[in-house]
Structure 1
Amino acid sequence: MCRFSVPLAFALTAFASASVLAQSVGTSAAPVSVAQASSAPPLTLAAAVQTALQNHPDLSAARREIEATEGARTQAAAYQNPSLSVEVEDLRRDTRTTTVMWSQPFELGGKRGARIAAADRATELARAQLDAKQAELRANVTAAFFTSLIAQERVRLAQASLDLARTGTQTGSKRVISGKVSPVEETRAKVAEANVRLELIQAQGELQNSLQELRSLMAQASAVSALDGNALTLPALLPQEALEQRIADAPALRQARLEVRRLAALADLESAKRVPDITVNAGIKRAQDQGRNQAVIGISIPLPVFDTNRGAIFEALRRQDKAEDEARAIELRLRADVAVARERQATASAEVAAVQAEILPGAQSAFDAASKGFELGKFDYLEALDAQRSLLQARAQYLRSVAEAHRAATDLDRLLGVSVSIP
Structure 2
Amino acid sequence: MGIRNILANVGVPLAKVGLAVFFFGSFHSALAQQTDPSPVPTPAPSLQYIGQDGLSVERLVESAGSRRADLLAARQRLVIAEGRLVQAGLRPNPVFSTEFGSPRFLGGESEYDYSAGISQPFELGGKRGKRRTVAELELQQVRAEIAAIERNIAVEIRRDYARAISAARQLDVLERLLAADAELVRVTEARLNEGDVAPLDLNLVKVESDRLKIQRIEARNELETALLRIRTLIGSDVSEPLRLAPQSDRPPRLDLGLSELTQKALSDRSDLQAARIGERLGTARLDLARAQAAPDITPSLRFSRTKAFTDLPASAGGGIINSRDNELTFGVSIDLPVSNRNQGGIASAVGEQVQAVRTREYLEATIRRDVAVAYGQYRAAAEKLVLYTTQILPRAEANLQTVRAAYSAGEFSVFEVVNEQRRLNENVTNYNRVLEEYYTTLTALEAAVGAALPPSAFMPGSTSVLPDTKTVPGQFNREEFLKSINEGKAERIGFLKSTKPRIEEEKK
TM-score range normalised by the length of the shorter chain? 0.7 to 0.9
Cross-structure match for 2:474: none
Are positions 1:146 and 2:162 aligned together?
yes
Cross-structure match for 1:3: none
Structure with higher Rg: it is: 2
Displacement of 1:232: 2.7
1:250 to 1:163, Cα distance in 2 relative to 1, 3 A = same
Q: Return the match for 2:73 from 51, 61, 77.
A: 61
- d(CA) in 2 for partners of 1:91, 1:266: 53
Where does 1:7-406 land on structure 2 (aligned, <5 Å)?
33-35=47-49, 41-88=53-100, 91=103, 96-221=112-237, 222-230=239-247, 232-234=249-251, 236-237=253-254, 238-248=256-266, 249-289=268-308, 290-406=323-439
User: What is the one-letter code of the residue matched to 1:384?
Assistant: V
- d(CA) in 2 for partners of 1:229, 1:293: 90
Displacement of 1:378: 4.0
Displacement of 1:88: 4.7
Aligned length: 398
- d(CA) in 1 for partners of 2:112, 2:231: 78
- d(CA) in 1 for partners of 2:193, 2:408: 17
Is the Cα contact below 8 Å between 1:62 and 1:129 reproduced in 2?
Answer: no
- d(CA) in 2 for partners of 1:287, 1:166: 113
CA deviations over 1:387-418 (Å, ceiling 9, x no partner): 22222222122111111122222222223321
User: What is the one-letter code of the residue matched to 1:247?
Assistant: A
- d(CA) in 2 for partners of 1:375, 1:167: 11
Cross-structure match for 2:7: none
User: What is the one-letter code of the residue matched to 1:254?
Assistant: Q
- d(CA) in 2 for partners of 1:399, 1:33: 17
- Deviates further, 124-133 or 194-203: 194-203
Residue 288 of structure 1 aligns to a residue in which SS? strand
CA deviations over 1:239-268 (Å, ceiling 9, x no partner): 223312221221221111111122221111
User: What is the one-letter code of the residue matched to 2:92?
Assistant: Q
1:69 to 1:114, Cα distance in 2 relative to 1, 3 A = same
Q: TM-score, normalised by structure 2?
A: 0.73
Residue 47 of structure 2 aligns to a residue in which SS? coil
Cross-structure match for 1:7: none
RMSD in angstroms over aligned alpha carbons?
A: 2.7
Is the Cα contact below 8 Å between 1:270 and 1:312 reproduced in 2?
Answer: yes
1:139 to 1:106, Cα distance in 2 relative to 1, 3 A = same
Is the Cα contact below 8 Å between 2:96 and 2:116 reproduced in 1?
Answer: yes
Aligned identity (percent) is 28
CA deviations over 1:154-207 (Å, ceiling 9, x no partner): 110111111111111111111112222222212222222222112211211111
Residue 284 of structure 1 aligns to a residue in which SS? strand
Displacement of 1:219: 0.9
User: What is the one-letter code of the residue matched to 2:249?
Assistant: L
Displacement of 1:235: 5.2
1:421 to 1:383, Cα distance in 2 relative to 1, 3 A = farther
Is the Cα contact below 8 Å between 2:61 and 2:234 reproduced in 1?
Answer: yes
1:401 to 1:41, Cα distance in 2 relative to 1, 3 A = closer
- d(CA) in 2 for partners of 1:405, 1:87: 80
Displacement of 1:383: 2.6
- d(CA) in 2 for partners of 1:379, 1:341: 46
1:333 to 1:208, Cα distance in 2 relative to 1, 3 A = same
Displacement of 1:375: 3.9
CA deviations over 1:331-368 (Å, ceiling 9, x no partner): 11111111111111110111000111111122123223
- d(CA) in 2 for partners of 1:223, 1:57: 16
User: What is the one-letter code of the residue matched to 2:247?
Assistant: N
Q: TM-score, normalised by structure 1?
A: 0.87
- d(CA) in 2 for partners of 1:369, 1:161: 16
Residue 375 of structure 2 aligns to a residue in which SS? helix
1:346 to 1:197, Cα distance in 2 relative to 1, 3 A = same
Displacement of 1:35: 4.5
- d(CA) in 2 for partners of 1:223, 1:173: 45
CA deviations over 1:12-31 (Å, ceiling 9, x no partner): 99xx9xxx9xxx9xxxxxx9
